[in-house]
């Protein structure tokens, strides 16, 4: 099937009694990218995935996934997508190999292909030596890795990952992130990743959307959101910052504000600009400059700003 | 769809029989069951074990017992262990999931019953044959196979229907017990009837020349109708979009 966007939603809405879990969500996810769907707990991320997979019916609005309508062709969507949902969904009484074997059969993979693919994934994720162990005895990190392998087993076109690193320690989370990035690139996947880990989104995603209480607050590349949401800053560590210097700096049009602490001057800029004239000015004023750092607003700053604005 | 049903059966049976990742532990319980119902009890009962029509009632109860022990887990267990949503997010059709779950519990309950029936026949022959082979009379033999299958199916269909909308296995088991009790309410009501009615009933019944074959056909027909009705309800109630939250 030919499709322009991997996912398109228009006014997608889902109401649970009095709670509007997803509220007029309209977005487009281009194919072949890692798309981050960011939001705090209870913001409607999981419900959106359920709606896109046809596991819930929308109250209003519509969505297409890989060109298929979620209301009428959800079986086709599920056929072409993989998913690691809110819970890993592994059969804990079965071995790792049996879990993958079962889902390989579910996706009608021929036995020989199934065998090769299971080995390929387990070796890549460093689980091959433990494939005969029952999953119930494994750590949360290993289970998440296996669930990730299961989601990719049938070489889907699109994968939904619902907070895949939630509950993992930093080392396990970083390892899973690395695997995710490598696999996505190697297999040319479109990934719909929900997370509230903004550093994770910043590292992995080419595009992100921010959602709160079911409403879409912002969408774009992490870079464009950073530019929209936060002003660049100049942090200067040193001493002897005179009042005359501060007054002169405040008078300049490219400077939005200045804060001074013991050995640091933080200059908030109105736009991305060449800062060398400012540094020259500071040095010429007699200040002792030890270090100059030019920073941009992080995705976290943007996210927090959006959350504040929405309150 | 058949391939998908077999896939579900494959998974369900492995989950049922594996114990800590090994088949050995899982088989122990089943072997114990087979030893009781296939060896010990036939030895106690003698040749009557295969000749008496009472055996029909007995072999109708065994598959019910076995299926009811596992079927409550079919959907409620997956829901409780958070594996249902992933299963529903797969490409399996609604019917494949439903029939796969039912078929697995029937295969388990009826399969084990048939194993015990055959084992009982062998035991009786070894212990009581006295030079000639003993075998079930045709009506009883066919009755056991058909009746136990229909009872296993009834137990499975009812259990799956209950399990579809139960949030936990415990809730499914409780509802299942009540549902089965409701089916047999007419039997429990007999002692409550006025004494004159009961005497009249007994007189009528004692006057009837019992035709076991006709009764068997009647029971089988009723069970087929009941099974079709319950399976149809289960099919109608299986809606993927309503199964995650109950």
Q: Distance, in angstroms, between B83 CA and closest chain A CA?
A: 4
Percent of chain B residues past pLDDT 90, beyond the cut: 35
Q: What is the structure's pLDDT at B187?
A: 67
Q: Residue B160 — pLDDT band, cuts 50, 70, 90?
A: very high
Dihedral angle computed from the Cα positions of residues B130, B31, B168 and A81, in that order, rounded to the nearest 10 degrees: -110
- For chain B, the average pLDDT equals 86
Q: Is the pLDDT of residue B127 over 80?
A: yes
Q: Is the pLDDT of residue A194 over 70?
A: yes
Verify whether the Cβ–Cβ distance A91 to B11 is below 8 Å: yes
Q: How far apart are CA A49 and CA A160, in angstroms?
A: 7
Which of A89, A101, A152 is the best residue to mutate to test the B interface, defined by the most B CB atoms within 10 Å of its own CB?
A89
Least confidently predicted of A65-69, A240-244, B161-165, B232-236: A240-244
Domains of chain B, residue spans: 2-244
Phi (first) and psi of residue A18, to 5 degrees: -95, -10
Q: What is the mean pLDDT of residues B160-182?
A: 86
CA torsion sign for A90, A93, A96, A97 is: negative
Q: Residue B203 — pLDDT band, cuts 50, 70, 90?
A: confident
Tell me the two tokens of residue A73.
């062709």
Question: Buried (b) or exposed (e) across A61-70, using 16+ Cβ within 10 A?
Answer: bbbbbbbbeb
Q: How far apart are CA A239 and CA A261, in angstroms?
A: 10
Tell me the DSSP string of B98-144: HHHHHHHHHHHHHHHHHHHHHHHHHHHHHHH-TTS-----HHHHHHH
| Pair B114, B148: CB distance under 8 Å | yes
What 3-state class would DSSP assign to A257? Answer: strand
Which of B85, B238, B242 is the best residue to mutate to test the A interface, defined by the most A CB atoms within 10 Å of its own CB?
B85
Q: Which residues of B touch A83 (CB under 8 A)?
A: 86, 89
Q: How many CB atoms lie within 10 A of CB A35?
A: 25
Least confidently predicted of B59-68, B201-210, B218-227: B201-210
Q: Which residues of A touch B14 (CB under 8 A)?
A: 94, 98
| Pair A103, B90: CB distance under 8 Å | yes
Q: Residue B23 — pLDDT band, cuts 50, 70, 90?
A: low
Q: What is the structure's pLDDT at B154?
A: 93
Verify whether the Cβ–Cβ distance B86 to A50 is below 8 Å: no
pLDDT in tens, A206-219: 899 988 888 888 88
Alpha-carbon distance values, A173 to A178, B24, B42, B185 (Å): 9, 37, 60, 57
Q: What is the structure's pLDDT at B150?
A: 95
Q: What is the structure's pLDDT at B241?
A: 82
Q: What is the mean pLDDT of residues A218-233?
A: 77
Tell me the two tokens of residue A156.
């889907």
Q: How far apart are CA A148 and CA A175, in angstroms?
A: 12
How far is C-alpha B73 from the geometric centre of its chain's CA atoms? 15
Q: What is the structure's pLDDT at A230?
A: 64
């Amino acid at each position: 099937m030919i499709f322009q966007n991997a996912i398109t939603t228009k006014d997608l809405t889902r109401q649970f009694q009095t709670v509007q879990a997803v509220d007029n969500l309209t977005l487009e996810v281009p194919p072949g990218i890692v798309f981050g769907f960011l939001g705090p707990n209870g913001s409607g991320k999981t419900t959106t995935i359920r709606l896109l997979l046809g596991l819930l019916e929308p109250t209003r609005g519509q969505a297409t996934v890989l060109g298929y309508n979620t209301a009428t062709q959800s079986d086709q969507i599920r056929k072409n997508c993989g998913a690691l949902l809110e819970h890993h969904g592994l059969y804990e009484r079965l071995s790792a190999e049996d879990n993958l074997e079962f889902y390989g059969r579910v996706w009608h993979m021929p036995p020989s292909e199934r065998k090769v693919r299971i080995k390929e994934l387990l070796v890549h994720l460093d689980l091959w030596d433990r494939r005969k162990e029952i999953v119930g005895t494994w750590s949360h990190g290993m289970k998440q890795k296996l669930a990730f392998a299961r989601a990719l087993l049938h070489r889907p076109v699109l994968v939904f990952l619902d907070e895949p690193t939630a509950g993992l320690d930093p080392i396990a989370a970083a390892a899973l992130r690395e695997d995710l990035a490598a696999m996505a690139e190697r297999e040319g996947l479109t990934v719909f990743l929900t997370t509230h880990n903004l550093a994770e989104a910043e590292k992995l995603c080419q595009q992100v959307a921010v959602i709160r209480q079911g409403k879409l607050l912002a969408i774009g590349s992490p870079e464009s959101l950073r530019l929209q949401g936060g002003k660049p800053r100049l942090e200067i560590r040193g001493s002897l910052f005179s009042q005359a210097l501060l007054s002169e700096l405040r008078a300049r049009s490219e400077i939005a504000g200045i804060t001074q602490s013991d050995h640091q001057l933080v200059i908030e800029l109105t736009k991305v600009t060449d800062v060398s004239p400012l540094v020259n000015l500071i040095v010429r004023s007699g200040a002792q400059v030890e270090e100059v750092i030019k920073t941009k607003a992080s995705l976290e700053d943007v996210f927090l700003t959006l959350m504040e604005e929405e309150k | 769809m058949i391939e998908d049903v077999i896939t579900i059966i494959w998974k369900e049976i492995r989950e049922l029989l594996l114990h800590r990742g090994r088949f050995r532990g899982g088989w122990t319980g089943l072997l114990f069951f087979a030893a009781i119902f296939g060896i010990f009890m036939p030895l106690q009962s003698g040749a009557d074990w295969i000749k008496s029509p009472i055996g029909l009632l007995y072999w109708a109860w065994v598959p019910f017992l076995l299926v009811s022990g596992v079927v409550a887990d079919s959907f409620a267990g997956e829901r409780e262990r958070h594996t249902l949503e992933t299963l529903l997010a797969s490409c399996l059709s609604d019917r494949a999931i439903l029939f796969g779950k039912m078929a697995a519990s029937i295969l388990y309950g009826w399969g084990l019953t048939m194993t015990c029936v055959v084992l009982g026949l062998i035991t009786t022959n070894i212990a009581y044959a006295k030079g000639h082979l003993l075998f079930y009379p045709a009506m009883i033999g066919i009755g056991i196979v058909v009746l136990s299958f229909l009872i296993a199916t009834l137990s499975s269909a009812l259990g799956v229907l209950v399990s579809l909308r139960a949030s936990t296995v415990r809730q499914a088991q409780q509802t299942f017990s009540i549902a089965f009790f409701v089916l047999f309410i007419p039997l429990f009501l007999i002692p409550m009837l006025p004494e004159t009615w009961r005497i009249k009933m007994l007189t009528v019944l004692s006057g009837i020349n019992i035709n076991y074959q006709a009764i068997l056909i009647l029971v089988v027909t009723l069970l087929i109708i009941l099974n079709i009705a319950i399976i149809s309800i289960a099919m109608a109630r299986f809606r993927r979009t309503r199964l995650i939250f109950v």
